[in-house]
Structure 1
Amino acid sequence: MSTLRDLVEEHTSLGSEDIDHLHRLAGDWQLLSDLSFADLLLWVPVNGDESFLCVAQVRPTTAPTAYQDDQVSRTVGGPEVAHLTIAYRQGRIWREGDPVWYGDTPARHEAIPVRLRDADGEPGGVIAVVGRDTNLSTARTPSQLELNYLTTADDLAQMMADGTFPPMSHRIETTSAPRVGDGLIRLDASGKVTYASPNAQSAFRRLGLPSHLVGEDLAALFARLADDPLEGTDASARVLAALGGEAPSRKEIEARGATVLTRALPLKPAGVPIGGWCWCAT
């Protein structure tokens, strides 16, 4: 099967930096798919922008897929790609339109433009489009956890359109990183916890936190709970780095005989620093 790089090099004129950015995205988008409860398809324009070629695909682990068949290497055009064309030409997220049907499966289409920023941090043109397609067959009123997942997913989608997700400095993790279902923590711009999923709360109880996470300063909490003061300082610094717009690598925290794997990333949709998010897994 052709790889993302093979398909892009064969069918487009995108340069190596553009392709590297698409690889970073495809290496980190399982989280976005799971947060969105949706399939993500990476499309590049061919034949001008009259048709689009799917060069990568990921299915959610948190919801049913909208596609039973593999879409990679599929080229589509005409009315079927109208939403992709709008996102590509106008450089904005497309969310309009009625549900579509794939056989017996109703689905909602969205299209997110993908940008790459230059060395000075300035956004460039749109290089690809991510289709975010949600299977609506099991639609229901979302829980608080699901609403926080969706809110975080929308923030990351806007950052993708801005060219800030995934960040240029981001390294694709080569070993297992926290998964979306392990535990989600949202932070405001000051670093205070505004939401903690039940699994995140359980992880911090194992570290020795008897109270609820909401309202806690996460960086200060890491420093307070860690058995090793140096490790606590390092974990605290990574949270502060994420709040400052960086993308630090994952970190293990040890306390009271428990170990929690964490990863903090910034939230900066439309260039506005609104806080950060952190995964944690035991």
Structure 2
Amino acid sequence: MPSLSKFLADNPGLSEKEADWLQHLVGDWNLLSDLLRSDLVLWIKEESGALAVAHCRPATGSTVYYEDPVGRPSDGGTEGVEIVRLLDGGEASRVPTAIEREGRAATGLLVPVRKNGQTLAVLAAESPDSDGHPSNNETQQRKLGHRLLRMLESGAFPIEGAPIPPRRGAPRVGDGVVELDDAGVVCWISPNAISAFHRFGIEGDMEGVTLAELSTEVLQSRSPVDESLPLVLMGRAAWRSDMQARGGTLSLRAVPLTEQGRRTGAVILVRDVTELRRRERELITKDATIREVHHRVKNNLQTVAALLRMQSRRMKTDEAREALAEAMRRVSTIALVHESLLQGSQEAVHFDEVIDRCLRLAVDAASATVHRAGTPQLTDAQVEVRTEKIGRVGSIRAEEATPLALVVTELATNAVEHGLSETGGTLTIRSERTGSHLVISIEDDGDGMGAAKPTGLGTNIALTLVQGQLGGTLTWEDRPGGGTRAMVEVYLDPLTL
């Protein structure tokens, strides 16, 4: 099914600003749907009549549509004719009519969506007929919904500048509703809103009292207060704010009500988000703790590497010094992963940055007979090794980053020591990733393996990590232009953000 953006883009009768206005409406019309307890269907004009381009079901009542009506053209009946008439600029009757939806009796109301005097679309509010008498709560909410419909018809709703994108803990009609007059006095409050304010510490009857005064009495004096909170409590600004006191937190959203450009009151949506904010604080604390752990692990690994370096200087044989140098390089590679984890907010590693550092580490620590391109040549006998990286890996899970970094470092070191230490050349790491499938090739343009098979501790470590921890394969082959290519093929686990 095409998106609303596609429908609007294909409609030649709407300008870019008019299409944005309809997108803005659909982004916030759940408020209307919940207050009216009605399905909302947005109709726009097309050559053959009208087309339904968006649909919203209420969270506070039952729906009249089992199947989404988006994409359906208007019929030639009375309702379809009335929609087309309104789209052509006709005046709305504002009288609900009896309709039938999927075999059920329902009531429909058509309202033109206008902006700057132009009719952009028609909004159909449709609700199932009720057998019983509506409660006072339902009646009051419907009245507020009809006031918003009048604002919609005059171009005053949705409210420009209102924070439409969803924010964690944003209140909805089912959480609690408060009606204010133009002075900020409570005219009516829903039962759920009363319960939320009572848990917050406001007691007694709230109707007939200014909401800002009631809230000020229980606010914590030492807690920082959002500068927009007074405007929200008075209903003067279409904004959201949190109010905290006695360990509890309320999320408030104000929707000013206007008539002919004059503010006549406001709808305040309220939700108790105490538990949600507590969990968010726990997550922030947990994230800080994890960062500190990675920081300490990185420092400890760097200390171990320094101790290995000091110990290698006391060794009397070249074989012992080389063994300690290899151990130091592997410890430093693991430290690189933990350092990368310090940079992000998730337990994921941007592996391309790790590859860059693994390349430098492999060349610098591989052999005294080579030097990395761009660094000073210590002796005349040293050959130059250039490095290049082709392709991107992206982000991978921390559990996979450590073994993969070790594998890349071991294979890159082997390529330098056995392929480029005498002739020099280019060390290339080529990455190809499609979804979870990752292939990393470590290539050198040296003499090649020939008939020999790779052996040694580094090779065994790389094979064990690829097959055991990563569940992948590691193969070697000769490059067509000379040299050796080692290919690591793995399937990564998806990131859970």
Cα separation, 1, equivalents of 2:97 and 2:161: 38
Cα separation, 1, equivalents of 2:95 and 2:195: 39
Cα separation, 2, equivalents of 1:165 and 1:198: 26
Q: 1:264 offset after TM fit, Å?
A: 0.7
Counterpart position of 1:130: 123
Q: 1:71 offset after TM fit, Å?
A: 0.7
Larger mean CA deviation between 10-19 and 217-226 belongs to 217-226
2:233 to 233, 239, 247: 239
Counterpart position of 2:22: 22
Cα separation, 2, equivalents of 1:153 and 1:55: 22
Instruction: Please give the residue correspondences for 1:16-165 in structure 2 after superposition, counting only pairs within 5 Å.
Output: 16-47=16-47, 51-79=49-77, 80-90=79-89, 92-96=91-95, 98-116=97-115, 123-136=116-129, 138-165=130-157
What secondary structure does 2:66 align onto? coil
Cα separation, 2, equivalents of 1:259 and 1:128: 39
What secondary structure does 1:52 align onto? strand
On the 8 A contact 1:222/1:232 being kept in 2, the answer is no
Q: 1:226 offset after TM fit, Å?
A: 1.7
Cα separation, 1, equivalents of 2:209 and 2:227: 16
What secondary structure does 2:29 align onto? helix
Cα separation, 2, equivalents of 1:195 and 1:100: 31
Counterpart position of 2:252: 262
On the 8 A contact 1:55/1:72 being kept in 2, the answer is yes
Q: 1:233 offset after TM fit, Å?
A: 5.7
State the percentage of identical aligned residues. Answer: 32
Cα separation, 1, equivalents of 2:61 and 2:131: 10
Larger mean CA deviation between 70-79 and 155-164 belongs to 70-79
Q: 1:174 offset after TM fit, Å?
A: 2.7
What secondary structure does 1:75 align onto? coil
Cα separation, 1, equivalents of 2:104 and 2:12: 32
Larger mean CA deviation between 105-114 and 71-80 belongs to 71-80
How does the TM-score come out when normalised to structure 2? Answer: 0.52
Structure 2 CA distance for partners of 1:202 and 1:83, relative to 1, 3 Å: same
Cα separation, 2, equivalents of 1:9 and 1:46: 12
Q: 1:125 offset after TM fit, Å?
A: 0.6
Code of the aligned partner of 1:37: R
2:163 to 165, 168, 171: 171
CA-to-partner distance for each residue in 1:128-160, whole Å, 9 max, x for gaps?
Answer: 111111111x34211111111000000000000
Code of the aligned partner of 1:259: T
1:216 to 195, 209, 213: 209
Q: 1:26 offset after TM fit, Å?
A: 0.5
How does the TM-score come out when normalised to structure 1? Answer: 0.88
Cα separation, 2, equivalents of 1:69 and 1:270: 38
On the 8 A contact 2:152/2:158 being kept in 1, the answer is yes
What secondary structure does 2:197 align onto? helix
Cα separation, 2, equivalents of 1:17 and 1:234: 28
CA-to-partner distance for each residue in 1:20-59, whole Å, 9 max, x for gaps?
Answer: 1111110111111111111000100111xx6111110001
Cα separation, 2, equivalents of 1:89 and 1:112: 13
What secondary structure does 1:227 align onto? coil
Q: 1:97 offset after TM fit, Å?
A: 6.1
Q: 1:67 offset after TM fit, Å?
A: 1.2
Structure 2 CA distance for partners of 1:93 and 1:213, relative to 1, 3 Å: farther
Cα separation, 2, equivalents of 1:8 and 1:19: 6
Code of the aligned partner of 1:153: G
Code of the aligned partner of 1:145: N
Counterpart position of 1:119: none
Structure 2 CA distance for partners of 1:97 and 1:31, relative to 1, 3 Å: closer
Larger mean CA deviation between 155-164 and 71-80 belongs to 71-80
Q: 1:124 offset after TM fit, Å?
A: 2.6
What secondary structure does 1:132 align onto? strand
Counterpart position of 2:243: 253
Cα separation, 2, equivalents of 1:61 and 1:234: 28
Counterpart position of 1:226: 219
The number of residue pairs the alignment matches comes to 269
Counterpart position of 1:191: 184
Unaligned runs of 5+ in 2: 273-497
Task: Tell me which stretches of 4 or more aligned residues in structure 1 moved more than 3 Å.
Answer: 89-98, 269-272
Cα separation, 1, equivalents of 2:211 and 2:102: 46
Code of the aligned partner of 1:82: V
Structure 2 CA distance for partners of 1:257 and 1:43, relative to 1, 3 Å: same
Cα separation, 2, equivalents of 1:125 and 1:113: 10
Structure showing greater radius of gyration is 2
Cα separation, 1, equivalents of 2:260 and 2:64: 29
Structure 2 CA distance for partners of 1:204 and 1:233, relative to 1, 3 Å: farther
On the 8 A contact 2:38/2:58 being kept in 1, the answer is yes
Unaligned runs of 5+ in 1: 117-122
Cα separation, 2, equivalents of 1:264 and 1:76: 36
What secondary structure does 1:274 align onto? strand
